[in-house]
Amino acid sequence: MPIDLFGFTIGRNGKMTPKPTSGADSKAASFVGPDDYDGTFTVEGGGVFGQYVDFNGGLKSENDLIGRYRSMALYPEVDLAIDDITTEAIVHGQDRTIVSINLDKVNMPVSIKNRMKDEFEGILKLLKFNQKSYEIFRRWYIDSKIYYHVITDNNAKNKGIIELRAIDPIKIKKIRNIQKKQQNVNGTQVAIVNKVEEFYLYTNLDKQSSFQTAQSGLKIAPDSICYVHSGIIDSGTKRVVGYLQKAIRPLNMLRQTEDATVIYRISRAPERRIFYIDVGNLPKQKAEQYLKDIMNRYQNKLVYDASTGEIKDDRKHMNMLEDYWLPRREGGRGTEIQTLDGGQNLGEMEDVDYFLKKVYRALHVPTSRMDAENGFNMGRSSEISRDELNFFKFIDRLRGRFSELFIQLLRTQCILKGIMTMDEWNTIVQDIHFDFQKDSYFTELKEAEIMRDRLEMLQSVEPYLGRFYSDDWVKKNILKQSEKEIEEIAKQMATQPPPPTEDEV
């Protein structure tokens, strides 16, 4: 029986039910359901006995994991590392936008490209990306996923997206319902996939009691939700995990080490006195009473209250400052007072620094950024550390994964407004790129140094042009120019006047 879902679906006709994967309308049959490794919870049904995968435990554990990520982000060192990552990925500038769309490789008419650029600008306005880009990226990085409800006008779908509303990842999950039926294959009953239904399940309950069954909550059509995850999949559970996953263990060890260090310093920092009291031949009970009397006599502190004129005993003693009182029998040394030294090496923090470095390595942040005394290096690009270079590449990977948010929204906008069809979009989607604004001085140094080296090499090869090397070889192998760049430069040089000769100068 078809299930009516909330929201809209593009690219399908009739009711919003997925097309069967087997049967009269299918071209191929399979006993394995689709798996995109995107953290989707799979429910299987059908067959002789009927199957049902209880995903309540998986959902609860995933929500608990998101809660752990959020609590980790409150830790000062982790928060500082996340701030470094976010500020490197999202760079605000006055002269350029934070992110722009690159359609140079898209094989479409210029008019279509211009409309796509306009729609992309509209998507940025719907997201309020210029004002909230830092919060959006940070939320996606910490939670490992981000959901948006794509709202359209039911009476005028051709107007496209009219609003985008963020959804808490704890309250929504993607579900895949696989229904199978038994078929006779070479005399053997095999469960073949009959229909695959994908939808999102939304519930407004708290994370402890939500998602009790697959039928609870509100079912939402897939195209009504924009879902972007981190891309990191747990090999055991096939669930999406966050970028903070690797830092859980070193962070817990760092906390324990810090707590142990504080406890040791508080308990061992002060010096204590040891009182050896001579009790002579007194019996045990009288000796203990005598020792207590001596303790009270020296521990009592008479305090004069100037406001009331009263004198009272102040017996408030901190436990960590208590002295040791030990009886000593006749025949030994008499009454004696000694000093018990406090803890040694209280200023060492090697263990804490070790685990702090492990936390930074787990988050791909250079450990050199831990030390505030290390300033920014404005030297040559060769002086940039290897950790900084790997961190720059890691930021590029994060940007590429986060760009899936723009891809999904732009796809919905272009198809709803009739700019292109689904087949046309699938043809060009791999050629769409997004350029994020960069604020890394290292990038400028690297590009300038590469160009300088190429020009110096060109000067060295110039005497051999026409004899051993051709112009095309030099352009491709030394200047590293592509065919398109060679053509464009040739057209530009054809329209420019020739350079002046030495006599004209």
- pLDDT tens for 460-502 read 888 888 888 888 888 888 888 877 778 888 888 888 777 666 6
Mean pLDDT of the chain: 77
**Per-residue pLDDT tens over the stretch 42-98:** 766 544 334 444 445 556 678 888 999 999 999 998 999 999 999 989 988 666 688
Q: Inform me whether the pLDDT recorded for 389 exceeds 90.
A: no
Is 11 inside any structural domain? no
Position 118 scores a pLDDT of 93
Is residue 252 a part of any domain in this protein?
A: no
Residue 240's pLDDT is 86
pLDDT recorded at residue 323: 67
**Nearest alpha-carbon partner for 195 in 426, 423, 1, 422:** 1
pLDDT tens per residue across span 354-369: 889 899 999 988 887 7
Residue bearing tokens 């959902």: 59
Residue 309 domain-assigned (yes or no): yes
The domain boundary, picked from 315, 340, 365, lies at 340
Contacts for 199 with CB less than 8 Å, ≥ 6 apart: 3, 5, 174, 175, 177, 219, 220, 221, 222
Cα(15)–Cα(56) distance, integer angstroms: 28
| Statement to judge: residues 196 and 55 lie in one domain | yes
- Count of structural domains, the chain: 2
User: Do 84 and 120 fall into the same domain?
Assistant: yes
Of the three residues 296, 318, 340, the one that is the final residue of a domain is 340
Confidence of residue 382 (pLDDT cuts 50, 70, 90): low
Give me the helix-helix angle, 441-461 and 386-402, nearest 10°: 110
Q: Quick count: other Cβ atoms within 10 Å of Cβ 23?
A: 13
Q: What are phi and psi of 6, to 5 degrees?
A: -80, 140
CA distance 391 to 400: 14
Question: Is residue 278 in some structural domain?
Answer: yes
**pLDDT (mean) for 314-340:** 62
Looking at 436, 467, 498, which one is the last position of a domain?
436
201 occurs within a structural domain:
yes
Structural domain containing residue 431: 41-244+392-436
**Whole-model pTM above 0.75?**
no
Residues 97 and 194 in one domain: yes
Q: How many angstroms separate the CA atoms of 16 and 21, rounded?
A: 15
The pLDDT assigned to 20 comes to 41
Q: 302 and 173, same structural domain?
A: no
Q: C-alpha dihedral over 257, 367, 134, 152, to 10 degrees? A: -80
Is residue 179 located within the same domain as residue 313?
A: no
CA–CA distance, 7 with 111 (Å, rounded to integer): 31
Total length of the chain: 505
Within this chain, do residues 282 and 214 fall inside the same structural domain, yes or no?
A: no
Whether residues 333 and 396 share a domain: the answer is no
Tell me if 293 sits within 8 A of 241, measured CB to CB. no
Is residue 18 a part of any domain in this protein? no
212/281: higher pLDDT: 281
Q: Tokens 């982790």 — which residue?
A: 78
Per the domain annotation, does 98 fall within a domain?
A: yes
